[in-house]
Structure 1
Amino acid sequence: MRSEGAEVQVRPGIEGDLKALTELYNHYVSETAITFDTRIFTPEERRPWLLSHPVDGPHRLMVATGDGSQRILGYATSSPFRPKPAYATSVETTVYVAPGAGRRGIGTLLYRALFAALADEDVHRAYAGIAQPNEASARLHERFGFRHVGTYREVGRKFGRYWDVAWYEKDLNL
């Protein structure tokens, strides 16, 4: 994809991305209610998260780089939906786009690559929880075939207020 004169590449995340991925995530922790984490992380604290997303299997990490450099413009993951064994064929997906890189199709590129990587995996359903309000995320998920299945009202408290989370589901066997 061409983006403001620079090519955007999507590839699996690697350990060398850890510092930049942590910085990107920490922006959302400290500045938004998009994640319900409430304190920033060091790269070492995020290392187990990164290592839980190998280059194969149903739990993936895809990274977008570009702007004429290896700057990380965003990432998408598929992670375990719940810890109990019967949930193994379900994944929770998420996308984070770097500040200033939104509205350029990066989330679309990331999800396209993530779902292509999952195509041959033994996964049946993908779920996404979207803190409300977040119209851009809802539109992205709907474009990829997610459908709204319900909303948890005031399920999380951050920045001194309660937040709703809308849950979306996608059939991966289509």
Structure 2
Amino acid sequence: MAVRSASGRADAAIIQSIYRPWVERTAASFEEVTPSVEDILARMETRPRLPWLIVEVDREAAGYAYASRHAPRTAYRWSADVSVYLKAEHRGRGLGRVLYERLIPEVRALGYVSLFAGITQPNPASVALHTALGFQLIGIHPNTGHKFGRWHDVGWYVQSPPNPPQSPVEPRDWASTI
């Protein structure tokens, strides 16, 4: 097993192939149409740059994780959202944890303080992963997304230090060659 940085069109295509079933078959993603490879590549290259990682098992992509800006207003710049998606046949093997154990330190090293994860409810596997990594439930947003003919709630989880820096350093861009 190996975790590597994702960059470029070929990796965007790999990510799209992993993400497609999540979009088309589940409410874990509130996207209703699978983004194009170009759309995913644009997300990967959006400023500020944040990590996108791929985990490989036997040299085949098994999943990916990434961080993205939490919200556009400037005072949110120390907060990021994190997500992980795995191929169905690789779920339950600890790969989500492996990805996050690489992603989270990289995001923190860039200067991000609070990390958020929005989890469509119910999703006991994702809740277990996030709580095992120190994320805490901070609230449920009811009826947040309507997909597959029904409303879905989203639980918001945060991993944040108990004593955040009073004068945080400005977050930096991630270089995919790390």
Class of the TM-score when normalised by the shorter of the 2 chains: 0.7 to 0.9
Q: Does 1:27 align with 2:16?
A: no
In 2, the alpha carbon distance for the partners of 1:119 and 1:164 equals 28
Aligned Cα root-mean-square deviation (Å):
1.7
Deviation per residue, 1:93-127 (Å, 9 max, x gap): 11101121001110000000001212322111001
Match of 1:130 in 2: 119
The one-letter code sitting in structure 1 at the alignment partner of 2:5 is: P
Three-state SS of the structure 2 residue aligned to 1:77 is strand
Alignment check: 8 A CA contact 1:154 1:163 kept:
yes
In 1, the alpha carbon distance for the partners of 2:100 and 2:62 equals 13
Query: Runs ≥4 in structure 1, deviation > 6 angstroms?
Result: none
Higher relative CO (CA 8 A, sep ≥ 6), structure 1 or 2?
A: 2
Alignment check: 8 A CA contact 1:53 1:60 kept:
no
The one-letter code sitting in structure 2 at the alignment partner of 1:37 is: E
Q: Which runs of 5+ in 2 are unaligned?
A: 166-178
Question: % of aligned pairs identical?
Answer: 30
Three-state SS of the structure 1 residue aligned to 2:126 is helix
Match of 1:4 in 2: none
> Shift in Å at residue 141 of structure 1?
0.5
TM-score by length of 1: 0.87
Deviation per residue, 1:65-94 (Å, 9 max, x gap): 12x22x211111111000111100000011
Q: Does 1:78 align with 2:67?
A: yes
Alignment check: 8 A CA contact 1:130 1:165 kept:
yes
Match of 1:10 in 2: 3
Match of 2:173 in 1: none
Which has the larger displacement, 44-53 or 9-18?
A: 44-53
The one-letter code sitting in structure 2 at the alignment partner of 1:38 is: E
Match of 1:146 in 2: 135
> Shift in Å at residue 38 of structure 1?
0.4
Three-state SS of the structure 2 residue aligned to 1:119 is helix
Match of 2:176 in 1: none
> Shift in Å at residue 53 of structure 1?
7.6
Alignment of 1:53-132 (within 5 A): 59-66=50-57, 68-69=58-59, 71-132=60-121
Match of 1:155 in 2: 144
Alignment check: 8 A CA contact 1:10 1:110 kept:
yes
TM-score by length of 2: 0.86
The one-letter code sitting in structure 1 at the alignment partner of 2:54 is: V
Three-state SS of the structure 2 residue aligned to 1:100 is helix
The one-letter code sitting in structure 1 at the alignment partner of 2:116 is: Y
